[in-house]
Every structure is written in structure tokens, then in C-alpha cells.
Structure 1
């Protein structure tokens, strides 16, 4: 399989970056993964801002030449791994901007006139690896699982991606956060996933 890793954190000295490295390390040791591409949104200088005006229309986002490279990466990938922190109960604005720009009508889904569109990214799978300062069950108990609902139902299922796995780690700024165990869990998953 082809694996696209989308990393969203501005600091390469962070624990977030350590998770990215474990995803890469596990993937390189997995004979089922043919090729890996990493898109570091901050390092790339990705522009998350949507612009619509007389020259750029929303209905033409799926053919925007500025986004062609990123659309090609998504089409190339069999599995997409998102590595990001949870800030204010949701992914960073940089990642949400990427989603706004890339998962557009005509590329990720097609309106059919029915209640739900036709997802155009069927057959792909997604893994979301996220971490937060708060307790692991904070999103479930206080936010009604808003993060997972947003990613699974409002985004991935909408565009046809039904296989979605989550690693959602809490207490990551605590010295008792079991960092090594959590990093090892992610490494082992990518080393063996099929």
C-alpha cells in the first residue's frame, strides 16, 4: 500500500514530532507498505486560507492548480495517517484549512441531489493520531466526542472513507503520560498494519 502521512505541528522538537518519527519508523519496517510520503504542513508553508473572489470560485476548487500537488498525493495514497495535536477540542486550524481546501466537491465528493453526496475517495483508509494536554477521556465526557464525530462522520464518511482508526492520547504534558508506551503502540501498529 501507499501511505501518505500528514503532519501538523510547528515544532520539530515536540512530542508530536516524536509520534511522526514512530509512524515513519514502523512504516519502513512493514513489508505491506510499498511507499511513504510525508506532508509536513508547517514546513511546507501550506496556505490554509480559502480564497473566493472573481478569479477563484468555490465550485472550481477541485481544479485549482495551486492544490494539484496535494490532490495528487491524496489520490496516490491507499492509507492516510494524520498526526496532530488536539487544541481547543479539535485539530489545529492549519489542518482544518488543509481539509477545507482539499476535500472539495468534484474531488472528494459529488453532490447527487440526495441527502448525502457520493463519496469519491472510497477504498481508502485513515488513521488519526492525536494527543492533548487534558485527560484521555476529556473529549468523550466533556465534548460529546466532538473530535471523533467531526473527523469520522462529518469528513471521512462524507467523502466515502469508511475505515477510520483513532489513536487519541491524553495527559501528554504530564511526566506520568506514559509517552514511551504510547509511542510504542503507534510504532507497532504501523509496523504490522495491512
Structure 2
């Protein structure tokens, strides 16, 4: 009886470990089946969705102010063939190599999508992804045409997330940053 008891406990621990591992793999997994390309993909936050297309904006801007051009340029692209990543996710996307449409924001077809695991600070009910989604769906967030997520902070003492964003369509350094406060309660699901 003691040997059977040990075997059952070992199997239970193995099942719990495998279940935990599979959940971890989900958020770092490739969402579309393809060989992982060798070049770096396009990274950024998913800030909008239209059917199977997502708008991804990279918070790292290029400064063109020295060339008498627009002072800030935030790379942004609509990717088709992207049914899974939720708004608020941080992703890396590789395209299929077909020509990309260049009007801003650009357009491309996603071949491979890797979704990063969202941060879930101690004491928080929501993940960073959930807080970003709630901030984008807030009245202040909905005023931004192409949101750039610049920073996300959680204050566990007051149970509030602060999402700092700006509009990618405003290219000046002087454009004010929008700060959206989100109460840490229930996660917000995507709106259809």
C-alpha cells in the first residue's frame, strides 16, 4: 500500500507540473504554425483588432527631428492572419515576406506570432495585458487614434494600474502623455 501511495503522489505532482508548464508555454508559444524565421520580427503592443487583423505599435520610436522631419515616428502595422493575440498583448510578429503596404500604419500578413507572457505583479487581480486593455477601452484611451503604450505600472498599496500612452499620430516631443488609471478588479475581456 505504501508503494502505491507514493506512485499516486508522484503522478499527481507530475500532472500538476505538466499543467503548469503547458500554461506557461501558451503565452510564449507561436500562434500561427510556421518555421520560426531567423530575422527579428516586428515587436510591440496589440492596441486594436478588426476581425483577424491586429494593429501592433512599437513603443520604441525613431527620432527624425535632426533631419527636419517629424520628430517622433512610432512603427505601427496592421497584421492580417492574426486571430489569437488579445488587445494588450506584447507580441513579436514575422511576416510571410510578401510586399507590405506602406501608408501609415503599414499593412502586412502575419506568418508567425509569438506572444509574451503578461506581467502579473504580486497582489494584482489583473495582468498587465488586462490593465492595458482596460486603459484602451476607457474614455481617455478611446480618444487616442493610434495608441502607443509607453509605460505600465501597478501600485499594490492602492490597487491601481497606471497606463501611460500617447498618440502615434502626434509626432512632436511636446505632445502630452495621457495617463489612464485603472482600478485593479476583474480583467476586461475584448470588445467585439
Q: TM-score, normalised by structure 2?
A: 0.21
Larger Rg: 2
Q: Which has the higher contact order (CA 8 A, sep 6+)?
A: 1
Larger % of helix: which?
Answer: 1
Q: TM-score, normalised by structure 1?
A: 0.21
